[in-house]
Structure 1
């Protein structure tokens, strides 16, 4: 099956993909050589009557609710057309920061409109990928061939607009979905031409089995990991140690940033560790450091590389002190009880409070019977919708259907 790439981007009426609605979608399909196939797709989404848009979002994108209402299509049609593109067999859907944001917009939009929220990510040879951590890994390990912009404080900038400007990539209007898509595609061409082996290696990690093979928690094998969780001063890169599988997330592996002193993790109680893990640095008391545990999800295309890729790398440039990391590694390896301890830390995290069904996608996977019924909802006449409500097993679907009727068929 031939793989094609669907480069995409959303503009939204807010920053929370669970609650805020899309304003615009753009996509451009390319072949494996990153040459465009066909014409770009640009859609506006008609905002629902109960939407309260963020004024700041409207100012940033230039898309007002009035514009989207005039030029847009209803949300069910909006996501039907998007799903058709993403679910085409062999499609790899990708973007810039798409795993953390755009894919969440897609998942929640498909969920609200009675599509399978996940199938287009894996079924029929489909997959997803994200270029932003690829850029971080390139900067840290193989920077040659790309111009890397810096922020006012001297740290690297991974903003798409900054990378575009530094590398003379046309990016006429940041926060216009199609302009962002075209800039992302051009950046991908540049990265692959500069370092093709690293590009192809990271692309292969969109398969979660390959990512899982690098996260050897049983053998306690350290690995390099690029993520937004690591500061730009460090190039977004850290040497991490996989400690244990996540106790409740099957695709998650708990890792420790080896740059930090592990003594608090080794000595503190589970409750005290939790207080210093699930908190932002700004919320900690003065003089208290966050314990740098994080979960790496093998199904989120993590940017990983073995330590051997450090050969020839100027580690001082990315503030990676390999000797310090190795000392911390030996301290951690000497404590056989630590994997079980961190699993308890993550197992006892308080569950999220119950939410409205539209925001409660991750409360559980939709059942097959409900997914089949949801497909019938999409094809039903408005006067038939109410009859489906009692047939759903999952109560979330009943609430979804009520809201769907209220927004799109209020007379029912």
Structure 2
């Protein structure tokens, strides 16, 4: 895949991504929905949810933790035990039966965790607490100061990501997405505001990108680089992140990984007019997945089609949509035909468990 902007790209034409040929350029972005067990095991309800959305070119399943201390919130999924593998196998089997394909996002929360949820003190590059409350089984509570990771912690976490990737393939996923975005652990190492280290993992840009590079390389060595994507969110301030030198971090990170043969790079909140996005497209030699900025209060009437076309014209190869797939299990059919889209009923229902606001969004009737 070249990095030349091609305005004639069709959203509904096949496209190569790693070892796969996707039937079209629309993929489902990872969406945490808190429907797993307290131990992080996927449930039959989750298999139903994902199978309903199997018409996506690829489903990038919700963030799953590579170890216990990486857990962020209650009832999120994990991928570090045989029970997790078996639960996810149930999901991938259901999606494959409907003709779909799946990658699994692997995410370590870093300081975005709490002992009331995981039973463990969170770890992070530096002992700087999340500057906000955090959701736990007992409700929202003040965040705690994380423990600064030692060299041994860093090495074991790199190994945990690689092991989680192997587990994901064993669970039936076609590949994995390494989550280095949205203020979680890998992003915390990139950002000046959360990384105050003075060793080989902090200080200069070259040092701050090192952990992300090591994790990505270890995962690629374990399952093959063609099965590995990387997700980034340049300039994103969620979870109290302050990068400080966004324009320097991402060119350095991409330079370190551009020749590794990864399946894709996934840019969150991509804006075709943004200089950093334009630089990323110029620098990244492989497949670029772009997650567009959509209105916070509603899904566009076209499901995001216009924004997708803008990003394709700016050089993106694949478009990842989140909320449009959440509320529309048959989003691909609706976008192909111009049918009306469902709106998200209530954002609260995204995270409270059960079928409501999860598997009960209607698809079009056969005659529509």
**Considering only CA atoms, is the larger Rg found in Structure 1 or Structure 2?**
1
* TM-score range relative to shorter protein: under 0.3
Greater percentage in helix:
1
Higher RCO, 1 or 2 (CA under 8 Å, sep at least 6)?
2
TM-score by length of 2: 0.26
